[in-house]
Amino acid sequence: MQNRLFGYLLFPLLVLFLSARKPANDFKSFVIEFVSLYNQAGFPEIDYDYHGYFETIPKMETLNEHEAFFQKTKENLGKYNRSKLNTEDQTIYDHIEYETDFSLERIALEKEWVSDGRNIPENGLHSLKNHKAWYKFFIKRYTSTGRTPEEIFDMGKAEVFKVKREIKKIQDASGYKDSLAFYTYLKSDKFQHTDKNKIIKEFEKIDSTVRANMNGFFGKLQLPKVYPMEWPNANAFTPPGMYLNHSGNAFGKDVFQFNFYGQKYNARAMEWLYMHEAIPGHHLQSVFRQVKPGTVQSIFLYPGNFEGWACHMEYFGKDFGLYNDAYSYLGKWEWDLVRSARLVIDAGIHYYGWTKAEALKYWKETIPGQDEIAEREVTRVTNWCAQALSYKVGSGFIDDMKIEWMNRNPKKKQRDFYLAYLKSGNIPLLVMYKRLIGEQESK
Amino acid sequence: MKQLFILLLILGTCAKVGAQDLPRRVFLGIRMQNLTDDMRNIMGIGGTKGVLIDEVIANSTASIAGFKRGDILVSVNGTVVNATGEVVAAIAPYKPGDKFNYELLRNKKKVNGKAVFTAVPEEKYADLDMIYTDVKSVAGQQRVIISKPKNKTKMPVLVFIGGIGCYSLDNSLDTTRSESQLLNMLSRQGYMCVRPEKPGVGDNAKSCKACGEVSFSEELDGYVQTIKKIKLRPDVDSSSVFVIGHSMGGVFAPLIAQKTRLKGTISYGTIGSNFIEHLLKTRRTIGEAYGWAPDETDAFIKDFCECVGYYFVEKMTSTEAAGKKPDCGEYLSVFDFRSRAYNDELYGFNIPALWKPFEGKALFMWGESDFVSSKEDHEILTGSVNFYHPGNATFISIPAADHGMQVAATFKDARENPGSYNTKVGKEMLNWLQNHL
């Protein structure tokens, strides 16, 4: 908070400094200066709860200063000839351009909102005066794509249909004709692990299997050990898992935590969770994305990039020697169904103005056997506008990008695309597209 | 992730003199976690005792001493600490300026050192004045924290009285808490907001009787003395003093008004019937929050009835009651956090009668996800005040708000996953205040 306050107080001086200075002679100096000024400005951090985000929108005078900063940055950036930069610098150029344009879009919305009296809508964005533009902004903020609200809604419905079809296939193969009996069976103790040491051993076994198959998917890779551990102080609403690399925790090791609340863990959620949190999900990506301090990549976060990657990788369990057991595979689809329904509900509430009752009705009609978390999910999607989109929308964007890349590079393998993606690091997916697809075009 | 850590702020003296007589407490300045077996295995430290330092806060005792993230704090002045609470207890006796020895485990190697305790920082805002003053009551010397808009005179005053727990409202390093958010918002709207600290907590730990030892009347005296002192300030409108009573604070509100005039009261999540009736009503909502089956809840309430009868009517201790019925030990242990005298006074109150002499305006608020207090109690209070003084009381229920004024969709959600401060609570208070100034 003190840093933020310091930043706000200092900000007008920074704008003056930027305005008075000639742009740095070389592009690298310009980038260093941009990062430094951005860090000193102390812009508010992302608050998942949109109510909190609106609370932190500063007063008009400050917004004008922020706007001047980004306009000046844009103006100075335009003085460099992108085509004369090397490939890496072109991506940095595109990244700064993306952030500058996005910030100016945001500030325009914020200024309008402040002028209109700073009214924070209670139950979703839909009651905002300019809710369509606001929702598009939130989609971009979390997915870093240009997907439209209509596309999100349609994608959610299509994914729900597809996932339910996959679940039905598994149900049919299991011999359960009756869905009620099937879901009752899924809730039985057979699928609850209660011994933590056994869970850890099971994760270690999965780890060995995945590592044994990893080279076939990515080529030769050396990845550091990742430790499974119980999520300390978890509760029923704690997510199923979380990855923390060695710099993100106090014990200095790469770990993923699983929710062992109530001394229970869903046995069907082991393989997909490992894929998501460890290899080839977040742990693998974190090894590639060693972001250096002072770089553009160090000052922004793109959930669509990293959650999209981890979600995307979950679909490849069979390539890594997993999902051989039908119920482990089912576990992947069960969680995918939750993620898919969230897309529909998110767009439903914030864009189409669904009431809570409508959202709950959709949940209950769509997701069998999980009525007890319906309230929680609808509240989460209402308050954390668009956050839940980062997984499926990010994953879908990566998939589309891969297909296009493969079409343009018929002699290359899938692994080449994925390695190119991983090596590109923490950049918005739209910039990733320009880098991977645009780069190919230029060749 | 914040809830995973306990922020350590400890007692002591303040370097600042003149403006405040009561010293500030010391600031160790670490966020820490209890070590779990999983962490010990991953770190390869076997059965080592200690707590894991997750963050070292800048300009704190720990940062000046060179503590690092990932260190394990093993002992303080020779006392081995194996849980966050033990660290708090181990350093409680010290004051800023005191020297201490410590032992850390860093990368599996022992690090021994000496350091000097510094003082906890005060809250600071660009647009508000924060004043740390104190007041003398029968319990001792107590901290009072004031937030107010800059350069404003003759301000209306809002005095915030907290709930039954022995907790501090002095949280300069976590201003996301509902109380801070609410009061800072109200100060920005032109009100002087006053936070009297309970005896024995925060800066009061060594200047007062302990929170768990004071009676209801002794705690009340601290609030009354605070308001009397505040009314003497030249920058306040002493005819416009309101109390915001949160939870048990709402029981203190009419008692305060009997000792010093209040223009109005706002009670959130409070008690409106005799204490046992309140307890029984809320055991049912607690059952709902915990997802118990209806028959399970009813059986619990029947047992609970018996236990509170032993405690409040027959004046047994919780241990004695447990001798009569073993479950009583667990059910009654919550009352042991406060003194026998406190609980007996509380049990003796006829709550509607406390409000009978109150002629000011009263707002009663209940969050619809608050399973710790009941809607019915707030309706009883509203009805009671309006019975004695027609038109003086208003009742408002706040959707999706829990007992802690946080966002929660349901009772269950409130228990398991409360969100951040629900801004609607403050907005409704502000609307009401603006109509009753």
pLDDT of residue A23: 54
Contact present, A103 and A71 (Cβ < 8 Å): no
Which chain A positions have a beta carbon within 8 Å of B400's beta carbon?
379
In this complex, is the C-beta atom of B424 within 8 Å of any C-beta atom belonging to chain A?
yes
Is the pLDDT at B7 greater than 80? The verdict is no
Q: Do A233 and B4 touch (CB under 8 A)?
A: yes
Read off the tokens for A148. 């439209």
pLDDT over 70 percentage in chain A? 93
Lowest mean pLDDT among A38-47, A413-422, B41-50: A38-47
B354-390 CB burial, b ≥16 within 10 A, e <16: bbeebebbbbbbbbbbbbbbbbebbebbbebbeeebe
Contacts of B106 in chain A (CB under 8 A): none
Q: Are B416 and A235 an interchain contact pair (Cβ–Cβ within 8 Å)?
A: yes
Contact state of B42 with A253 under an 8 Å Cβ cutoff: yes
Q: Is the pLDDT of residue B411 over 90?
A: yes
Chain A nearest C-alpha distance from B14 (Å): 21
Q: How far is B181 from chain A (nearest CA, A)?
A: 11
pLDDT confidence of residue A52? 81
CB contact under 8 A, B36 and A252: no
Which among A259, A367, A366, A243 is positioned nearest to A313, based on CA atoms? A243
Mutate to test the interface with B, among A207, A242, A251, A260 (most CBs of B within 10 A): A251
Size of interface A-B (CB pairs under 8 A): 72
Q: Which residues of A touch B52 (CB under 8 A)?
A: 250-251
Answer yes or no: is pLDDT of B338 > 90. yes
Identify which has the larger pLDDT, A118 or A144. A144
Question: Can you give the pLDDT at residue A43?
Answer: 79
**A251: closest chain B residue by CA:** B70
Would the pLDDT of B348 be above 60?
yes
Kindly give, in sequence order, each residue whose CB lies less than 8 Å from that of residue B101, ignoring residues fewer than 6 positions away. Answer: B76, B77, B78, B112, B113, B114
Residue B156: cis peptide before it, omega within 30 degrees of 0: no
B270-279 confidence digits (pLDDT tens)? 999 999 999 9
pLDDT digits (tens, 9 = 90+) for B8-33: 333 222 233 334 489 899 999 999 99
* Residue A58 confidence class, pLDDT cut points 50, 70, 90: confident
User: Is residue B113 over pLDDT 80?
Assistant: yes
Mean pLDDT of B173-188: 91
Residue B160 Cα distances to A11, A12, B157, B248, B265, angstroms: 35, 37, 10, 11, 10
Q: Is B274 on the interface with A (CB under 8 A)?
A: no
Do the Cβ atoms of B36 and A120 come within 8 Å? no
Query: Who among B70, B409, B420 is closest to A49 (CB)?
Result: B420
Determine, for residues B39 and A251 on separate chains, whether the beta-carbon distance falls below 8 Å. yes
**Confidence category of residue A24, pLDDT binned at 50, 70, 90:** low
- pLDDT on residue A1: 33
B115 touches chain A (CB under 8 A): no
pLDDT at B217: 97
Task: Give the least confident one: A306-320, B313-327, B415-429.
Answer: B415-429
Handedness of CA A173, A175, A180, A181 (dihedral sign): negative
Section A99-103 average pLDDT: 97
Question: Average pLDDT, stretch B373-391?
Answer: 97
pLDDT of residue A17: 47
Q: What is the mean pLDDT of chain A?
A: 90
Q: Chain A: nearest CA to B176, how far in angstroms? A: 10
Tokens of B333: 């242990």
Averaged pLDDT, B424-430: 96
Q: What is the mean pLDDT of chain B?
A: 92
ipTM above 0.85, yes or no: no
Cβ-based contacts of B124 with chain A (< 8 Å): 2, 5
Regarding pTM above 0.95, the answer is no
Q: Which residue of A has its CA nearest to B32?
A: A250
Cross-chain Cβ contact A375/B407 below 8 Å:
no
Average the pLDDT over A52-56 and give the result: 84
Sign (positive/negative) of CA torsion A250, A252, A253, A254? Answer: positive
Residue of B nearest to A122 (CA): B424
Predicted confidence (pLDDT) at residue B67 exceeds the cutoff of 80: yes
Q: What is the mean pLDDT of residues B199-215?
A: 93
pLDDT given for residue A439 in this prediction: 55
Which residues of chain B are within 8 Å of residue A383 when distances are taken between CB atoms? 407, 419
Phi, psi of A154 (to 5 degrees): -65, -40
Do residues B51 and B91 touch, judged by C-beta distance below 8 A? no
Confidence at residue A443, expressed as pLDDT on a 0 to 100 scale = 38
Q: What is the tens place of the pLDDT at every residue in A250-277?
A: 989 999 999 999 999 999 999 999 999 9
pLDDT at B4 over 50: no
At B246-268, the pLDDT tens digits run 999 999 999 999 999 999 999 99
Confidence of residue A290 (pLDDT cuts 50, 70, 90): confident
pLDDT of residue A236: 75
Q: How far is B34 from chain A (nearest CA, A)?
A: 9
Give tens-digit pLDDT for A330-367: 999 999 999 999 999 999 999 999 999 999 999 999 99
Answer yes or no: is pLDDT of B1 > 70.
no
Calculate mean pLDDT across residues A146-166. 97
Residue A248: predicted pLDDT: 85
